[in-house]
Amino acid sequence: MDPVSIIVLVGLFGWLGYETFKPRKRNRGVLDEVAAKYGGRIIDGNLHLTIDGLAVEVRAKLPRPSGDFEQPGSTTWRVTVPPPGTTPFSIYPEGFVSFASKVFGGEDLELRLLPTFDHAFMIKSVEPDTLRRMWTTERCAVMTANYMDAKLHGKDDIIELEWPGHAATVEDVMRGVGLLVGLARADLYGMAALEALPDARRSAHGYVEFPGPGSIQIGPRRIKDRMVTVAWASVELPIRTVLPAVLGNAELGTHDGGTAIGFSEIVEDPARLAAAVEFLRGLVVAPSEGVFR
């Protein structure tokens, strides 16, 4: 091979190597920039942030050449939701998969906040009303404007957004972070109403505690695939105890060595919640681990 051909080949391989490395370098620079600006860390190539008290992880697969084409990159955002966690749901683009799901009886929910969102995405949830509490018109608009080809799902303490696109700028990265943090911070189970009660103290286990005497706890609890409000106290149930009328159709029973007041739904009425606390506070109590542990 003559010297000119060798020089040409060396130059060609050098250019290919540069083009292959360039997006990786650019992406790592963006993640580093976000980490520096928002106090995050890069661990195993992934970005880890704490935003509004929530742990957020951003993972990126970079665009790379493949023959005559470039395989597109992808970005995944994941947020850890504190107790009591999130509602199970799945949102993905309308298309062949959603069509097949509907053919076999799959239900496509509507949030009824933004028509373009309902038309663009297949929405599945076992708790439709709870899922609607998570969304606002603004969040629907962010999703339709930027993530029409993305998949979004939640379960237990995780919400994850998978986007087949390359987050190339700080704004791209933080847009996804902002969407997930907003969804994770939505009050799905009436915790704000509980925390507003006098003497309430939020526990790390996803309920609020009150001074007794003894232990009094109120919070959301899943019973028969539904989240409902349950109040519990470390007290044995006295014979012929009758609940006050303000508690409505709540049921009284025993659980884990104490007395439990079980509602049929998530309760946010301050009067009903306060009445449950006062009823339990009036009983003779003894320490226990509690229904929520």
DSSP β-bridge partners for residue 77: 58, 161
8 A C-beta contact, residue 89 and residue 131: yes
Note the pLDDT of residue 15.
43
* pLDDT above 60 (res 27): no
The pLDDT score that the predictor gives to residue 104 is 37
Span 232-274, pLDDT tens digits: 998 877 666 789 999 999 999 888 888 899 999 999 999 999 9
109: nearest Cα among 96, 97, 93, 91? 91
- Asked whether the predicted pLDDT for residue 289 surpasses 50, the reply is no
The confidence score (pLDDT) of residue 14 equals: 45
Write the pLDDT tens digit of every residue in 153-166. Answer: 999 999 999 999 98
Predicted pLDDT of residue 234: 87
- For residues 87 and 130, is the Cβ–Cβ distance under 8 A? yes
Comparing CA positions, the residue from 191, 213, 186 lying closest to residue 202 is: 191
Residues making up the chain, counted from first to last: 293
End-to-end CA distance of the chain: 75
Q: What is the pLDDT of residue 169?
A: 94
pLDDT in tens, 82-137: 999 999 999 999 874 444 444 334 468 999 999 999 999 999 999 999 999 999 99
Say which residue the tokens 């470390």 belong to: 234
Over the stretch 163-192, which tens digit does the pLDDT of each residue have? 999 899 999 999 999 999 999 999 999 999
Residue with tokens 């008290």: 53
Those residues whose C-beta lies under 8 Å from the C-beta of residue 277, and which sit 6 or more positions away, are 197, 210, 216, 218, 231
Least confident range from 63-77, 79-93, 134-148, 195-209: namely: 63-77
Q: Which residue carries 């025993």 as its tokens? A: 254
Q: Residue 286 has what pLDDT?
A: 41
pLDDT score of 238: 67
Please give the pLDDT value at position 8: 40
Structure confidence at residue 81 as a pLDDT band (50, 70, 90): very high
Amino acid at 83: P
What percent of the chain stands above pLDDT 90?
A: 65
> How is residue 66 written in tokens?
């493949």
Is the predicted pLDDT of residue 279 greater than 50, yes or no?
yes
Whether the pLDDT of residue 25 is over 80: the answer is: no
Query: Does 11 have pLDDT greater than 50?
Result: no
The β-bridge relationship of strands 215-223 and 208-211 is antiparallel
